[in-house]
Structure 1
Amino acid sequence: MPRTYLKKAPGAAKAANGGSPADIPAIVQGVIDAIRAEGDAAVRLYSEKFDKWSPESFRLSDAEIQHAISQVPAQTVADIKEVQANVRAFAVAQRESIKDFEIETAPGVFLGQRNNPINYIGAYIPGGRYPLLASAHMTILTAKVAGVKKVVACTPPAAGKIPNATVAAMHLAGADEIFILGGVQAVAAMAVGTPTVPKVDFIAGPGNAFVAEAKRQLFGEIGIDLFAGPTEVLIVADETADPFMVATDLLSQAEHGPDSPAVLITTSEEIGKRTIELCAELLEGLVTAPVASVSWRDFGEVVLAGGLDEAYAIADEYAYEHVQVLTAQPREALEKMQNFGALFLGPMTCVSYGDKCIGTNHVLPTLGASRYTGGLWVGKYLRTVTYQEVRNTEQSGKLGQLCGRAARVELFEGHARSGDLRAHMYLKDEFDWIKPGAVQQ
Structure 2
Amino acid sequence: MVRHLKTKSDTTTGGVSSTSSSVAATVKDVIDTIRSRGDAAVREYSQKFDKWSPSSFKLSQSQIDAAIAACPKQIIDDIKAVQTNVRNFAQAQRESIRDFEVETQPGVFLGQKNVPISSVGAYIPGGRYPLLASAHMTILTAKVAGVQHVIGCTPPIAGQIPNGTVAAMALAGADEIFILGGVQAVAAMAVGTETIRKVDFIAGPGNAFVAEGKRQLFGEVGIDLFAGPTEILIVADDAADPFTVATDLLSQAEHGPDSPAVLITTSERVGHESMALVDELPKNLPTAALARTSWKDFGEVVVVDSLDEAWKLADEYAFEHVQIFTRRPREALEKMRNYGALFLGEKTCVSYGDKVIGTNHVLPTRKAARYTGGLWVGKFLRTVTYQEVTSESSSAELGRLCGRAARAENFEGHARSGDLRAHKYLNDEYGWIAESSSVEMKSSRL
TM-score by length of 1: 0.98
- Dislocated runs of 4+, deviation >2 Å: 11-22, 435-440
Contact 2:15 2:258 in 1 (8 A): no
1:315 Cα deviation after fit: 0.2
Contact 2:250 2:291 in 1 (8 A): yes
Counterpart of 1:59, as a letter, is K
SS in 2 for 1:116: strand
Paired with 2:265 and 2:314, the residues of 1 have a C-alpha distance of 10
Partner in structure 1 of residue 113 of structure 2: 114
Paired with 1:46 and 1:205, the residues of 2 have a C-alpha distance of 20
Partner in structure 1 of residue 340 of structure 2: 341
1:13 Cα deviation after fit: 4.5
Change in 2 beyond 3 A, CA 1:87/1:423: same
Partner in structure 2 of residue 134 of structure 1: 133
Paired with 1:12 and 1:187, the residues of 2 have a C-alpha distance of 31
SS in 1 for 2:169: helix
Counterpart of 1:74, as a letter, is K
Contact 1:267 1:307 in 2 (8 A): yes
1:17 Cα deviation after fit: 2.4
1:4 Cα deviation after fit: 1.4
1:11 Cα deviation after fit: 5.3
Partner in structure 1 of residue 66 of structure 2: 67
Is residue 2:255 matched to residue 1:256?
yes
Paired with 2:182 and 2:87, the residues of 1 have a C-alpha distance of 27
Contact 1:18 1:367 in 2 (8 A): no
Partner in structure 2 of residue 415 of structure 1: 414
Paired with 1:412 and 1:153, the residues of 2 have a C-alpha distance of 47
**Aligned Cα root-mean-square deviation (Å):** 1.3
Partner in structure 2 of residue 210 of structure 1: 209
SS in 2 for 1:339: coil
Is residue 2:236 matched to residue 1:237?
yes
Superposed, 1:369-408 pairs within 5 Å as 369-408=368-407
Partner in structure 2 of residue 223 of structure 1: 222
1:211 Cα deviation after fit: 0.1
TM-score by length of 2: 0.97
Query: Which stretch of the first structure deviates more once superposed, 278-287 or 225-234?
Result: 278-287
Deviations 1:116-143 (A, max 9, x none): 0000000000000011000000000000
Partner in structure 2 of residue 272 of structure 1: 271
Is residue 2:429 matched to residue 1:430?
yes
Contact 2:318 2:338 in 1 (8 A): yes
1:16 Cα deviation after fit: 4.5
Partner in structure 2 of residue 201 of structure 1: 200
Contact 1:235 1:324 in 2 (8 A): yes
Runs (5+) with no aligned partner, structure 2: 441-446
Contact 1:19 1:259 in 2 (8 A): no
Change in 2 beyond 3 A, CA 1:12/1:350: farther
Number of paired residues? 439
Paired with 1:19 and 1:419, the residues of 2 have a C-alpha distance of 49
Change in 2 beyond 3 A, CA 1:12/1:418: farther
1:14 Cα deviation after fit: 2.2
Counterpart of 1:398, as a letter, is E
Partner in structure 2 of residue 312 of structure 1: 311
Contact 2:15 2:229 in 1 (8 A): no
SS in 2 for 1:302: strand
Partner in structure 2 of residue 355 of structure 1: 354
